[in-house]
Amino acid sequence: MTLTKLTGSVYVFQGPTNIGVIATPTEEAILIDSGLDESTARKVLRSVEQQGLQVKAIINTHSHADHIGGNAFVQARTGAAVYASPLEAPLIRYPQLEPTMLLGGANPWKDMRNKFLMAKPSLVTEELGGGPYTVCGRQLQIISLPGHSLDQIGVLADGVLFVGDAYISSHLLQKHGIPYNVNIKDYLNTLDKLVESHCDWFVPSHGEPTENITADIAANRSTVLSLVEQVASWLSEPLTAEELVAKLCTHLQVTPGNPGLFFLYRTAVMAYLSFLQEQERVQAVINDNKLVWQRR
């Protein structure tokens, strides 16, 4: 992981999941997310301390494990406060809810309780909605960016907007296979909001910080909409969600190598189906004791 200064007081650790650092005039630091695990968090704390700063707060953009996995270690080590949005906070406090949701409410078996799906629990000390907030003496703007998750937020400081997983750099789209989103309408609205934002820097959690997001936003939008249309094109015959996942994986030449990844892909496909259903283009019906999807 490398630490890059974007402005005089705003930095980013670039790695598998980028982590923001906002310095305060009193030599304190606010982390934007905490990475996947304790190992990542240790590296971040060490680098922050080498800058003469002490971590006093974490703002989580959302509750996925690669964004909150370092919370518990940082809190135990520094006593840092943790901030999150109202619908993401419960999953940070009780991270077993994440794999439980993927399984439709069922108890997750051992293989579904891995660090990529279920972080260690941490205490959310304050919930944040959209708007201006003062954290550790720094004036920040919290921006609602739902779609990838139910209640994702972005954090704006000194012209730098940390966007979480609202979009990913275009060169990583193919690597991600079926991009994970839970609400396509919200996701598209979030992309519109970002295009209209006037910031000096945009920092996605996966990819490179950039001063111009036009191309990345266009690539994310076209990728997701093309997948929605691909799913719709197959529904001239009734298909289950699992059959659609298999067809989409074959179409994209990706392989879900474990059950966890399959369930992530399934959630993405269900988001496409929900979006199409809201447009009254498809419907769910029971056929031969199976729930299948078909065109209206």
Own/partner long-range contacts of 231-237 (Cβ < 8 Å, ≥24 apart): 231/269, 231/272, 231/273, 231/276, 232/276, 232/281, 232/282, 232/295, 235/282, 235/293, 235/294, 235/295, 236/294, 236/295, 237/294
CA distances from 251 to 3, 16, 193, 224 (A): 38, 26, 31, 14
Q: In this predicted structure, what is the pLDDT of residue 177?
A: 81
CB atoms within 10 A of CB 186: 21
**Confidence check: pLDDT of 126 > 90:** yes
pTM: predicted TM-score of the whole model, two decimal places: 0.96
Q: Which fold has domain 224-295?
A: Arc Repressor Mutant, subunit A (1.10.10)
Residues of the chain with CATH 1.10.10.10: 224-295
Q: In this predicted structure, what is the pLDDT of residue 275?
A: 99
Q: Does an H or E element contain 155, and which?
A: strand 153-157
Q: In this predicted structure, what is the pLDDT of residue 1?
A: 74
Q: Which residue, 22, 28, 29, is CA-closest to 6?
A: 22
Q: In this predicted structure, what is the pLDDT of residue 233?
A: 98
Average pLDDT over residues 196-216: 97
Q: Which residues pair with 55 in a beta bridge?
A: 29
The helix-helix angle for 259-278 and 184-195 (nearest 10°) equals: 80
- What's the CA gap between 292 and 179, in Å, rounded? 22
User: Count of alpha carbons within 13 Å of 283, Cβ hemisphere only?
Assistant: 6
At 57-87, the pLDDT tens digits run: 999 999 999 999 999 999 999 999 999 999 9
**Confidence check: pLDDT of 13 > 90:** yes
At 228-244, the pLDDT tens digits run: 999 999 999 999 999 99
The average confidence (pLDDT) of the chain is 97
Q: In this predicted structure, what is the pLDDT of residue 2?
A: 79
At 103-114, the pLDDT tens digits run: 999 999 999 999
Residues of the chain with CATH 3.60.15.10: 2-223
Q: Say yes or no: domain 2-223 is CATH 3.40.1190.20.
A: no
Band (pLDDT 50/70/90 cuts) for residue 174 is confident
